[in-house]
């Protein structure tokens, strides 16, 4: 349970950190604000989830210790969220694939038998619904835009597709949580994700890649080469001045 | 990106306690839907339960400053044309 909430928190934390890097660099003022908004939503979710995860362990951990005191082998986020921002199409595609997963997941968690998790999910589901609306809107817009924007979106999809399978590889210990009604069944979420993504990709005039050799390992702390540098930047202050407060 | 395909939209927001939509500013967007989303991110900071109107700026006709005379001035000297001699009963709100 502590592991599972930490995994969800790590997803939101890392993706939030990625989105923050767009601040001041987005293609339009309005997009800049929208991406920052989504980043802040995710950071709030990460804080809730990590604080809750910390409270479930008996140690003196808190959300800050989890966010700034762990190295990449201790991070359990999906590989998808740590992928570089690339250009706007890469960021959008990453966001869309993630939002399409987040929504059914949190909708399922709202009905969790664990009141703490259900409360966090209830708050998150409103935000995630908007995120999906944003990323799906842009996906369809750019997919049906110019020949170039369609090509860029297709390339982003082809690049990121191999990270999508990991969302549905559940750890053995998660089955017990499903049986207790704490978390929704993976198959259920996968079905909804497939339905959303197939429709979204079709609406955007893009082609789903043939099943790629999927990359997994994030949940086990085995990451791509991108997470280490991201953490080095994010945790710089705590690494140089451990325990620094202000 | 060029602004050519991104027309200007005017944004009107009614907040939760508000009685009417107020003009809060403008923004650029490619279509109405995007304008709504942008307005929500730029102007409402996700206060729940508010209503947003977006209107293409080109749809708005404004009165001209040089027409001030015939538009607004004639009634100034005729105080009987202004409903200022009524006392409002207690319990009337929002006047």
- How high is the pLDDT of residue B65? 80
Per-residue three-class SS string for chain B: CCHHHCCEEEEEEECCCCCCCEEEEEEECCCHHHHHHHHHHHHHCCCCCCEEEEEEHHHCCCCCHHHHHHHHCHHHHCHHHCCCCCCCCCCCCCC
Helix (H), strand (E) at residue A221: none
Q: Does residue B48 carry a pLDDT above 70? A: no
- Across the interface, whether the CB atoms of A137 and B34 are under 8 A apart is answered yes
Cα separations (Å) of A20 from A24, A111, A157? 9, 31, 22
- How high is the pLDDT of residue A181? 94
Q: What is the mean pLDDT of residues B65-90?
A: 74
Pairing of β B22-28 and β B51-56: unpaired
Percent over 70 (pLDDT), chain B:
82
Phi/psi of residue A21, nearest 5 degrees: -70, -15
A chain contacts of residue B46, beta-carbon cutoff 8 Å: 37
Task: Report residue A163 CA to chain centroid gap.
Answer: 12
DSSP secondary-structure letter at A62?
-
* C-alpha to C-alpha distance for B38 and B40, rounded to whole angstroms: 5
Question: Does the CB of A237 have a partner CB in chain B at under 8 Å?
Answer: no
Task: Report residue B79 CA to chain centroid gap.
Answer: 28
Q: Report the residue from A28, A34, A134 with minimal CB separation from B28.
A: A28
Q: Report the residue from B29, B31, B46 with minimal CB separation from A30.
A: B29
- How high is the pLDDT of residue A130? 94
Nearest to A102 by CA among A82, A117, A115, A121: A121
- How high is the pLDDT of residue B63? 86
Q: What is the pTM of this model?
A: 0.88
Q: Where residue B64 falls among pLDDT bands split at 50, 70, 90?
A: confident
Q: Which residue has the tokens 């082609």?
A: A207
A chain contacts of residue B34, beta-carbon cutoff 8 Å: 30, 137, 141
A chain contacts of residue B42, beta-carbon cutoff 8 Å: 30, 33
- How high is the pLDDT of residue B29? 92
CB A216 within 8 A of CB A77: no
pLDDT by 10s per residue, chain A, length 246: 899 999 999 999 999 999 999 999 998 899 999 999 999 999 999 999 999 999 998 778 899 999 999 999 999 999 999 999 999 999 999 999 999 999 999 999 999 999 999 999 999 999 999 999 999 999 999 999 999 999 999 999 999 999 999 999 888 889 999 999 999 999 999 999 999 999 999 999 999 998 778 999 999 999 999 999 999 999 999 999 998 887
DSSP A70-126: --GGG----HHHHS---SHHHHHHHHHHHHHHHHHHHHHHHT-SSHHHHHHHHHHHH
Question: Does the CB of B6 have a partner CB in chain A at under 8 Å?
Answer: yes
Nearest to A179 by CA among A106, A103, A112: A112
Per-residue pLDDT of A35-57, as tens digits, reads 999 999 999 999 999 999 999 98
Highest mean pLDDT out of A27-31, A40-44, B20-24, B42-46:
A40-44
Per-residue pLDDT of A95-142, as tens digits, reads 999 999 999 999 999 999 999 999 999 999 999 999 999 999 999 999
């Amino acid at each position: 349970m502590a592991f599972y909430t930490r995994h969800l928190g790590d997803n939101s934390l890392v993706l939030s950190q990625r989105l923050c890097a767009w601040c001041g660099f987005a293609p339009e003022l309005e997009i800049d604000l929208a991406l920052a908004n989504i980043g802040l939503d995710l950071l709030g979710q990460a804080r809730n989830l990590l604080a809750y995860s910390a409270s479930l362990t008996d140690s003196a951990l808190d959300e800050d210790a989890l966010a700034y005191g762990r190295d990449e082998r201790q991070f359990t986020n999906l590989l998808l969220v740590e992928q570089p921002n690339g250009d706007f199409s890469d960021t959008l595609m990453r966001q869309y694939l993630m939002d399409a997963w987040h929504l059914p997941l949190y909708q399922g968690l709202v009905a969790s038998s664990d009141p703490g998790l259900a409360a966090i999910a209830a708050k998150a589901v409103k935000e995630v619904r908007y995120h999906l609306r944003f990323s799906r809107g842009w996906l369809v817009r750019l997919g049906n835009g110019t020949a170039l924007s369609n090509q860029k979106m297709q390339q982003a999809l082809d690049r990121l597709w191999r990270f999508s399978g990991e969302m549905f590889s559940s750890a053995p210990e998660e089955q017990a949580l499903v049986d207790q009604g704490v978390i929704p069944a993976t198959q259920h979420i996968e079905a909804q994700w497939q339905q959303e993504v197939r429709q979204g990709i079709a609406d955007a005039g893009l082609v789903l890649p043939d099943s790629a050799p999927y990359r997994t390992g994030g949940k086990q702390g085995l990451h791509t080469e991108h997470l280490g540098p991201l953490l080095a930047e994010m945790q710089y202050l705590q690494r140089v001045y451990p325990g620094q407060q202000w | 990106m060029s602004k050519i395909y991104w027309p200007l939209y005017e944004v009107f927001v009614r907040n939760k306690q508000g009685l009417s939509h107020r003009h809060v500013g403008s923004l650029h967007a490619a279509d109405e839907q995007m304008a709504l989303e942008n307005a929500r991110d730029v102007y409402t900071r996700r206060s729940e339960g508010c209503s947003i109107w977006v209107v293409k700026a080109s749809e708005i006709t404004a009165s001209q400053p040089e027409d001030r005379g015939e538009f607004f001035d004639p009634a100034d000297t005729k105080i009987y044309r202004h409903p200022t001699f009524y006392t409002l009963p207690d319990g009337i709100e929002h006047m």
